[in-house]
Amino acid sequence: MSFDKPIGRIAVVGTGVIGASWAAHFLARGFDVVATDPAPNAETNLRTYVDEAWGALTALGLSPGADRQRLAFTTSMKDALAKADFVQENGPERPDFKIQLYADMDAATPADSLIASSSSTLTMSVIQSKCARPERCLIGHPFNPPHLIPLVEVVGGVKTSPAAVQQALAFYASIGKKPILLHKEMPGHVSNRLQTALYREVLYLVDQVVLSVADADDAVSWGPGLRWGLVGPSLQFHIGGGAGGIQHFIDQLVEPMAALFGQLGNPIITPELKRKLSEGVLAEAGNRSVKQLAQDENEKLVQLLRLRGQRGPGTGRGKERLSAAGAS
């Protein structure tokens, strides 16, 4: 089965934190979006979220035809999926729930349409296990909020067709996302593992009273984190290697760095460490509410994305990736 039909109509299943943001992104890229969620007030909450996100999406550049009026809502998942070309699922993160949900979605969605899950922790091999047509089911894991953070981690399960994976990569790239392909399923996919690796050491250093929570945040966000907002760590070491580039890093620096591996921490999450973390973060936040912090962060993210040229309907990198991968 090929999955290369044009995508015009998108279904968003589950419109909580992640689903609402995906819906806003798809609308801003000029699609018809039909959303479904059984929660009371789900439609009102979704429309409010989209309205609040629209300013940032407009600043980033709307695609032709982008219109909030193109959002439809139904509590009937069957109706939502009946004509969907692409489904982005964002339901509760429970394995039994997702397995049944996928069996139901699979039965209700046209056979040549893709079904992508935002799941952060489950593998598609598990989620698709009761589907009659599991070959079109894959993970398309975003970062919160998907309408601002471009990354999507794409990985199939044992029964996913490679053509479906390639088509999902191309589709996400065509709508301004930065999809990356994982060649193997991993618990936590990749970027959450990277975050966890760094955060393990933050917790260790705080636990060992090496520094405060706020100073650990500064050590990341005013240090290497500034660069990581522009360039990933490996390319950064190429730049840091000066004229010798990455080879200088490999010859001179990688082994001293590796010598530290054994000294990195593995903190035990005690009630005391939890208390330190909570008190440290609240002191750092001061009188700024979570909402204010999020607004401020999102405004700066929009500026950074614009600076990096990440805006509008996409870059066409999906096509490059497809030909690089040998797909037609």
Question: Could you list the residues that contact ligand NAD (CB under 6 A)?
Answer: 13-19, 36-39, 42, 77, 90-93, 101, 118-120, 141-142, 144
Packing angle between helix 213-221 and helix 271-285, nearest 10 degrees? 60
Closest distance to ligand NAD from the beta carbon of 192 (Å): 8
**242: Cα separation from own chain's centroid:** 32
For ligand NAD, give the closer residue by CB, 13 or 173. Answer: 13
Which residue number, 219 or 301, has a Cβ lying nearer to ligand NAD?
Answer: 301
Pick the closer one to ligand NAD by CB: 81 or 203. Answer: 81
Q: Which residues contact 94 (CB under 8 A, 6 or more apart)?
A: none
Nearest distance, CB of residue 249 and ligand NAD, angstroms: 32
Contact 165, 154 (CB under 8 A): yes
Q: Which is nearer to ligand NAD, 62 or 116 (CB)?
A: 116
Backbone angles phi, psi at 256, to 5 degrees: -55, -35
Question: In the chain, which ranges are continuous DSSP H helix?
Answer: 17-28, 42-60, 77-81, 95-108, 124-127, 162-174, 191-207, 213-221, 224-228, 233-240, 245-248, 254-259, 271-285, 290-307, 317-324
Residue nearest to ligand NAD (CB): 16
The residue assigned the tokens 């193997």 is 184
Q: Residue 155 Cβ, how far from ligand NAD at the closest point, in Å?
A: 13
Nearer to ligand NAD, 37 or 135 (CB): 37
How far apart (Å, rounded) are the C-alpha atoms in residues 179 and 28? 18
In this structure, what token pair is assigned to residue 261?
């591996």
Closest to ligand NAD by CB, 37 vs 85, is 37
CB of 144 to ligand NAD, least distance (A): 4
Output the smallest distance, CB 105 to ligand NAD, in A.
9
Least Å from the CB of residue 92 to ligand NAD: 5
